[in-house]
Amino acid sequence: MCFHNEAWSVLLRSVHSVIDRSDPKLLKEIILVDDFSDMSHLGEQLQNYMDKLNIVQIIRMKKREGLIRSRLAGAKAASGDVLTFLDSHIECTEGWLEPLLDEIHQNSTVVVTPVIDGIQDTTLEYQGKNENDVYVGGFDWNLQFNWHEIPERERKRRLDKVSPIYSPTMAGGLFSICRKYFIELGTYDAGMEIWGGENLELSFKVWMCGGTLEIIPCSRVGHIFRRRSPYIWKEGENVVEKNSMRLAEVWMDEYKNFYYERFNRQLGNYGDISLRIKLRERLKCKSFDWYLTNIFPELFIPGQATHTGEVRNKANNYCIDGLSNYLYYDQPIGFLPCHGLGENQYWLMSKKGEIRRDEACLDYDGSGKVKTYLCHNLEGNQKWVYKESGLIEHSVSQSCMEGSDAGELVMNICDVNNIRQLWLWPQRK
Ligand code: UDP
Ligand code: MN
Instruction: Please report, for the chain, the start and end positions of each structural domain, with discontinuous segments joined by +.
Output: 80-223, 302-424
Residue 3 bridge partners (DSSP): 34
Kindly give the distance from the C-alpha atom of residue 246 to the centroid of ligand 2, in angstroms, as a whole number.
22
Q: What is the pLDDT of residue 231?
A: 83
| Close Cβ partners of 170 (under 8 Å, ≥ 6 residues apart) | 111, 113, 137, 199, 202, 203, 213, 215
Coil, strand, or helix at residue 354? coil
Nearest CA to ligand 1 atom 8: 66
Report how far apart, in Å, the C-alpha atoms of 183 and of each of 78, 81, 83, 324, 409 are: 12, 12, 11, 37, 53
Contact of 373 with 406, CB cutoff 8 Å? no
The ligand placed nearest to the CA atom of residue 85 is 1
* Buried b or exposed e, range 322-345, using 16+ CB within 10 angstroms: bbbbeeebeeebbbeebeeebebb
Residue numbers of the chain with a pLDDT score lower than 70: none
Ligand 1 pocket list (CB less than 6 A): 2-4, 6, 35, 66-67, 70, 87-88, 173, 194-195, 226, 229
Kindly give the distance from the C-alpha atom of residue 90 to the centroid of ligand 1, in angstroms, as a whole number.
12
Q: What is the pLDDT of residue 230?
A: 84
| Close Cβ partners of 81 (under 8 Å, ≥ 6 residues apart) | 178, 179, 180
> What is the best residue among 1, 4, 18 to mutate for testing ligand 1's pocket, by most ligand atoms within 8 Å of CB?
4
Q: What is the pLDDT of residues 83-135, one digit of tens each?
A: 999 999 999 999 999 999 999 999 999 999 999 999 999 999 999 988 888 99
Residue in 215, 52, 13, 209 with CA at minimum distance from that of residue 134: 215
Q: Where are the alpha helices (DSSP H) in 284-374?
A: 288-294
Q: What is the pLDDT of residue 252?
A: 98
Q: What is the pLDDT of residue 265?
A: 87
Report how far apart, in Å, the C-alpha atoms of 195 and of each of 30, 73, 115 are: 22, 15, 21
| Close Cβ partners of 185 (under 8 Å, ≥ 6 residues apart) | 202, 205, 206, 209, 211, 283
Q: Which CATH class is domain 302-424?
A: mainly beta
> What is the best residue among 3, 31, 89 to mutate for testing ligand 1's pocket, by most ligand atoms within 8 Å of CB?
3
Q: What is the pLDDT of residue 185?
A: 98
| Close Cβ partners of 381 (under 8 Å, ≥ 6 residues apart) | 363, 364, 365, 366, 394, 396
Contact of 320 with 372, CB cutoff 8 Å? no
- Measured CA to CA, the distance from residue 354 to residue 351 in angstroms comes to 7
Residue in 252, 246, 181 with CA at minimum distance from that of residue 212: 181
Residue 89 bridge partners (DSSP): none
Kindly give the distance from the C-alpha atom of residue 384 to the centroid of ligand 2, in angstroms, as a whole number.
40
Contact of 304 with 310, CB cutoff 8 Å? no
Report how far apart, in Å, the C-alpha atoms of 208 and of each of 5, 201, 410 are: 35, 10, 45
Residue 194 bridge partners (DSSP): 66
Q: Which of 3.40.350.10, 3.10.110.10, 3.40.718.10, 3.90.550.10 is the CATH number of 80-223?
A: 3.90.550.10
Give the count of beta carbons closer than 10 Å to the beta carbon of residue 370. Answer: 24
Q: What is the pLDDT of residue 29?
A: 98
Residues lining ion ligand 2 (Cβ < 5 A) are 87, 173
